[in-house]
Amino acid sequence: MAFGFAQAFRTFGKLALAGAIGASLAAGDVGAEQKTPSPGSAKALFGGASLPTQGPAQPIGFYAKGCMTGAMALPTDGPTWQAMRLSRNRRWGNPAMIALLERFSQDAVRYAGWPGILVGDIAQPRGGPMLNGHSSHQIGLDADIWFTPMPARSMTAKEREDLPFTSMLQKNKFLTVNPKVWTESRARLLMLAASYPEVERIFVNPAIKKKMCDTWTGDRTNLGKLRPIYGHDSHFHIRMKCPPGAAGCTPQAPVASGDGCDKSLAYWFTPAPWAPAKPPKPGAKPPKPPREVMVSDLPKACAAVLDAASVASMQAATYGAPSAASALVASPATAPAADAEEDMLPDVGPLPNDKPTIQ
Ligand SMILES: [Zn+2]
């Protein structure tokens, strides 16, 4: 609380081109992300699974290193939601997550003055590392929700592929929420999502967290669940706790107490998180690119998850009663189109080593 934003801004005042620096950092990540995964890599194998396993639902491992069994699909349409980017086949989650999304979408209409939610990526049918984008979303307990409200009519599959993201940030300004697009209803939506006890974290852009810190006048008990991170300016990311009894699920450390409107936020308004990687010394060997993640890097049980029998059909594993709208299926996901905004930066990190824990 004591750390002033004015101070943070003063420190940072000279770096007027911070946006450009951020963008160049992002461009580097795009290059890394868009390399096609090698056949046999965990990304290729889990990205190639088109249906979930049969049997009970289990998250296995950690949000950014794991897989899942017994996933359910969120129907493409509900009274208060529409799923986006259907071709990616990432509507799969732990049933607790799918049930939460249904409830959240209803509550959003009832209590947040929001017309319904657009749901982005949840997870692949068997979880695991994704073909592209995200470093987390691997165990069915992460879901992306757009800051764009649901339209009154059901969008076609093509519209759901093509609808562009709308950033909540002001262009050409460093980490500033755009007052022309940001609304109180979005603030209510975030705090509603944070109100569920089973929700542990909500990732948002640091500018959005700051906006919430500065303007939220309601109960601030759950404000600390809003975690500042790169990207996340056109969608927010809901992360659930490991469900009770999920023995194979590796929990994340709980968030620190308090509203998080403190040093851990001010840090994002300094140059450190946006500094480009140091260039290698002249004559030094270029660093090896990181090795691809293999199935053997994941928890042992994930190899069996890949081999396990599938459910009979997508319909058979879709949440709730089969609805006509669930027939809305776009072409299968062989090479999902990458959304620039998501691929620019991973969901978690890169996290600097020498700084306070920000997750
Ligand atoms: Zn996400």
**What are the pLDDT digits (tens) for 49-62?**
999 999 899 999 99
* Contacts for 29-38: CB closer than 8 Å, 24+ residues apart: 29/343, 29/344, 29/345, 29/346, 30/340, 30/343, 30/344, 32/289, 33/132, 33/133, 33/338, 33/343, 33/346, 34/132, 34/338, 34/343, 37/131, 37/292, 38/292
- DSSP, collapsed to helix, strand or coil, labels residue 263 as helix
What is the enclosing helix (H) or strand (E) of 92? strand 92-93
Q: What is the pLDDT of residues 186-210, one digit of tens each?
A: 999 999 999 999 999 999 999 999 9
Ligand 1 centroid vs 234 CA: distance in angstroms? 11
- With bands split at pLDDT 50, 70 and 90, how would you rate the model's confidence at 167? very high
Q: What is the pLDDT of residues 109-153, one digit of tens each?
A: 999 999 999 999 999 999 999 988 889 999 999 999 999 999 999
Which secondary-structure segment (H or E) carries 26? helix 18-34
Q: 96 and 198 in contact (C-beta within 8 Å)?
A: yes
In a domain? residue 355: no
> What pLDDT score does 17 carry?
34
CA of 342 to the centre of ligand 1 (A): 8
Residue 110 lies in a domain: yes
Residue 357 within any structural domain of the chain: no
Position 250 confidence tier, pLDDT thresholds 50, 70, 90: very high
Main-chain phi, psi angles of 238, to 5 degrees = -95, 125
Q: Is residue 346 part of a domain?
A: no
- What pLDDT is stored for residue 299 in this prediction? 98
Residue 162's pLDDT is what? 98
Q: Which domain holds residue 77?
A: 5-35+58-271+299-331
Coil, helix or strand at residue 89: coil
Look at residue 277 and tell me if it is in a domain: no
Using the mean position of ligand 1's atoms as its centre, give its distance from the Cα of residue 40 in Å: 25
236 C-alpha to center of ligand 1: Å? 7
Q: Tell me if 282 is assigned to some domain.
A: no
Q: For 321-330, what is the mean pLDDT?
A: 43
> What's the CATH code of the domain at 142?
3.30.1380.10
> Which one has a higher pLDDT value, 183 or 279?
183
Instruction: Please tell me the distance between residue 283's alpha carbon and the centre of ligand 1 in angstroms.
Output: 39
Residue 349 CA to residue 273 CA, distance in Å, equals 10
> Residue 43: inside a domain, yes or no?
no
Residue 223 has pLDDT above 60, yes or no: yes
pLDDT number for residue 231: 95
73-107 core/surface letters (b: 16 or more CB in 10 A; e: else): bbbbbbebbbbbbbbbbbbbbbbbbbbbbbebbbb
Counted domains in the chain:
1
Say what the pLDDT of residue 320 is: 86
Decide which of 78 and 4 is more confident: 78
Q: Is the pLDDT of residue 4 over 60?
A: no
Look up the pTM and report it. 0.83
Give residue 20's pLDDT band: very low, low, confident or very high (50, 70, 90). Answer: very low
Cα 133–328–140 angle (5° rounding)? 40
How would residue 234 be classed by pLDDT, with cut points 50, 70 and 90? very high
**Is 8's pLDDT higher than 50?**
no
Gap between the Cα atoms of 53 and 71, Å rounded: 7
Q: Would residue 91 count as lying in a domain?
A: yes
Strand 81-83 versus strand 77-78 pairing type:
antiparallel
pLDDT band at 211 (very low <50, low <70, confident <90, very high): very high
The pLDDT value recorded for residue 344 is 37
pLDDT range class, residue 7, cuts 50, 70, 90? very low
- CA 180 to ligand 1 center in whole angstroms: 24
Quote the ligand 1 centre to 349 CA distance (angstroms): 12
pLDDT given at position 24: 33
Please give the pLDDT value at position 27.
30
Please indicate whether residue 207 or residue 283 has the higher confidence score (pLDDT). Answer: 207
How many angstroms is it from 232 CA to the middle of ligand 1? 8
**What pLDDT score does 6 carry?**
43
Residue 144 CA to ligand 1 center (angstroms) comes to 5
For the chain, helix, strand, coil in percent to 5 are 30, 15, 55
As a whole number, mean pLDDT of residues 317-331 equals 56
pLDDT of residue 34: 52
Centroid of ligand 1 to alpha carbon of 244 (angstroms): 22
Identify the band that residue 3 occupies on the pLDDT scale cut at 50, 70 and 90: very low
Residue 295's pLDDT band, with cuts at 50, 70 and 90, is very high
